[in-house]
Amino acid sequence: MRFRGEWIILFSFITALAQNDKWTVANIQFAGNNKITRQELLEQMKLQPPGLFKRSDYSFATLADDLDAIEKYYHQNGYLSATAKIERISRNRENLKVGILINIKEGRQTLIDSIIFTNNKVFESSSIYSWITLKSGDPFDSASVERGIYIISDSLVSHGYLFSTVKYKVRMDSMSHRANLIYQVFEGPLVKTGPLKIIGTRKVRKEVILKEVDLQPEQVLTSTKISWNIGGLYNTGLFDFVGIEPQDSLQRADAETVTVPVVLRVSETQMFELLTGGGYSTSDGIYGDLSAAYLNLFGLGHRIALDARASFDVLSARLSYYYPRIFSRNFDADITGYLQRLEVPTFSGAFGGGILSLIRKAGRYNRFRFYMQAERTSWIDEPLEIDTFTADQPENIFLLGAGLSRDTRRSVFTPGMAVFTYLDAEIAGLGLISWSSNFYRLTGDIRFYFPLFNSLSISTAIYSGYIHGFAGDQVPVQKQFYFGPEGIRDIRGYDESELALINNVGDTLGGNFAVVITPLEITFPIAGIVRGAVFVEGGGVWINPRSFSFANFHWSVGPGIRIGTPVGPIRLDYGFQLKRKFPFEGGFSLGIGLAF
């Protein structure tokens, strides 16, 4: 803590503060700041002058921290001798207001005169210079110089120079206020992969790890390759910890390349999972969930899982078997059997079937999925006027599908700066299978997430789908687009029946074409785990694309709150239906997780 001459002057004032309720800041003024603006200085401070909807509670400890922050900001901009001190504090005992005057002594700015690299043998100085953000003529700042070390080091290890070291020296000219910066770059040898040793496995066989990692002998080992392999092992779900450590050998430091042993350390996760839960959401009503899984069948990382859900509208059970790296190829297999009973505004029915999927990962974010599905309809009820199934049309389904996804989200609850894209195509019956309806179905789902300053975040999304029958068949009602459980995502502020198509006798129908757009959703912090939100979205279903019109889009706008919990954010929104007549109707929407 620095001692300031104003402490004695302020003693009685601090005592007065302690005897009263909270004092607030009335104004903050600066003197002596010629090079840095008042607004820039206020942005470094916690204490703030009053605004339309805000006030700042005064404390001397906070003011002392703010003075340190101002001096740090000056130093970062090359004013190495700058000081910030209290010139005057005025107080009004009647309204408990505090006025603050801060005196700034800036001094002269020190600039970087030159940046020199020494000891580098592999990379040209011009290449290293292009890596760093500091340039000749920039204000000298030791924090930025340190960042330059990290940037150079990261660039070297990303090229395979894992044992490189970087240091720096500064030569100051106090007369001209210029600094000569010298980076000493010791690249070391290019590192290649040697023998691989796996440590920490108990139940998982080592061949499971060897199938997942790409660490070939005599291959150049880079930080990017290490991170990619660590991420791949985490994605298996079998490990709580993964570390890959190249071992520094005693070979000659001046060697151009070295081949070193690599240690791969893992800590296995709990292999059996049992999760139960329940709650209420607008789309599902009251529901209960059960999920049980074993992640390491036969010690080969095969996963078997049972998932069940029960609500007023849905009864479902799914049994799945996941086979990673099937036949030692770069494909994963997923076999799922399911039973399902649905009761939604457009139909009710019971279905059972199976899905066989082959999944191919392409890099860290991309995934291809090829699948086939067979589904038997036990019974189905729909409005008689719809007449989906003709006398000759079968109610069962056999289809082939292909999907492409790209998902850069950190997680489904905290996506960060990310994009999620899923494109899917299905064809059923093929005009050849007598017991299956004939149709094709195309869907696309694109979402963007943009975190901004001060924990503000913006997201936007669009979903669209089209389905069409062929060979004389109509589209099965359970495959049409509808809002509700197991359907497309709802539009906040509307009941499911309000979003459905209505025939001339008042029956609710599904559509063969659907669009749901959220042009904008903004979330912002309120207090602690509570965040606020505002949104605009719209959409609907139509008989076909030709009947689509923005004039009969269902638009809504409204506010919401998000409460962070260990299982994901609890989301409560109120959507106002944007219609021609006023006042606007609307409704609440409650759920867990992000809106999309």
Q: How many domains does the chain have?
A: 4
Whole-number Å distance between alpha carbons of 308 and 4: 67
pLDDT at 14: 47
The reply to whether 153 and 285 lie within a common domain is no
> 379: pLDDT confidence band, cut at 50, 70 and 90?
very high
pLDDT at 342: 93
The reply to whether 121 and 210 lie within a common domain is no
- Which CATH number is 177's domain given? 3.10.20.310
Beta strands 165-173 and 178-186: pairing type? antiparallel
pLDDT at 252: 60
Query: Is 554 a residue whose pLDDT tops 60?
Result: yes
C-alpha distances in angstroms, 85 versus 6, 41, 45, 255?
9, 13, 14, 55
The reply to whether 172 and 42 lie within a common domain is no
> 583: pLDDT confidence band, cut at 50, 70 and 90?
confident
- Minimal CA–CA distance to 594: which of 466, 463, 457? 457
Report the range of poorest mean pLDDT among 162-171, 255-264, 574-583: 574-583
Q: Are 417 and 443 in contact (CB under 8 A)?
A: no
Q: 491: which 2 tokens?
A: 């539009």
Q: Name the strands in the sheet holding 97-105, side by side, starting at the edge strand that comes first in the sequence.
A: 24-31, 97-105, 83-92
Residue range 509-530, pLDDT digits in tens: 889 999 999 999 999 998 888 9
The reply to whether 425 and 463 lie within a common domain is yes
The reply to whether 316 and 443 lie within a common domain is yes
The reply to whether 508 and 569 lie within a common domain is yes
In a domain, 333, yes or no: yes
pLDDT at 279: 74
Q: Are 450 and 243 in contact (CB under 8 A)?
A: no
pLDDT at 330: 81
In a domain, 321, yes or no: yes
The reply to whether 27 and 132 lie within a common domain is no
Task: Classify 287 as helix, strand or coil.
Answer: strand
Q: Give me the residue label for tokens 């299905």.
A: 426
The reply to whether 323 and 257 lie within a common domain is no
The residue range of the domain holding 170 is: 111-186
Percent of the chain with pLDDT strictly greater than 70 = 93
The reply to whether 264 and 276 lie within a common domain is no
The rounded radius of gyration (Å) of the Cα atoms in the chain is: 32
- Minimal CA–CA distance to 535: which of 571, 559, 555? 559
Last residue of a domain, one of 186, 213, 232: 186
**What value, to the nearest 5°, has the Cα angle with vertex 93 and ends 88 and 97?**
60
In a domain, 2, yes or no: no
In a domain, 1, yes or no: no
The reply to whether 224 and 147 lie within a common domain is no
Helices 7-19 & 60-76 angle (0-180, nearest 10): 130
Structure pTM?
A: 0.75
Last residue of a domain, one of 136, 170, 186: 186
Task: Classify 52 as helix, strand or coil.
Answer: coil
Query: Is 8 a residue whose pLDDT tops 90?
Result: no
Residue range 297-343, pLDDT digits in tens: 999 999 999 999 999 899 999 999 999 988 767 899 999 999 999 99
The reply to whether 526 and 539 lie within a common domain is yes
Helices 142-158 & 223-235 angle (0-180, nearest 10): 80
> 391: pLDDT confidence band, cut at 50, 70 and 90?
low
pLDDT at 505: 73
Whole-number Å distance between alpha carbons of 394 and 467: 17
Name the strand (E) or helix (H) holding 41: helix 38-42
Last residue of a domain, one of 160, 186, 212: 186
- Minimal CA–CA distance to 565: which of 451, 413, 410? 413
- Which CATH number is 457's domain given? 2.40.160.50
pLDDT at 497: 81
Q: Give me the residue label for tokens 């199934």.
A: 389
Q: Does residue 217 have a cis bond before it (omega within 30 degrees)?
A: no
- Minimal CA–CA distance to 229: which of 197, 257, 264? 264
Residue range 103-150, pLDDT digits in tens: 999 999 999 999 999 999 999 999 999 999 889 999 998 888 999 999
Helices 60-76 & 142-158 angle (0-180, nearest 10): 60
Mean pLDDT within 12-20: 45
The reply to whether 253 and 287 lie within a common domain is no
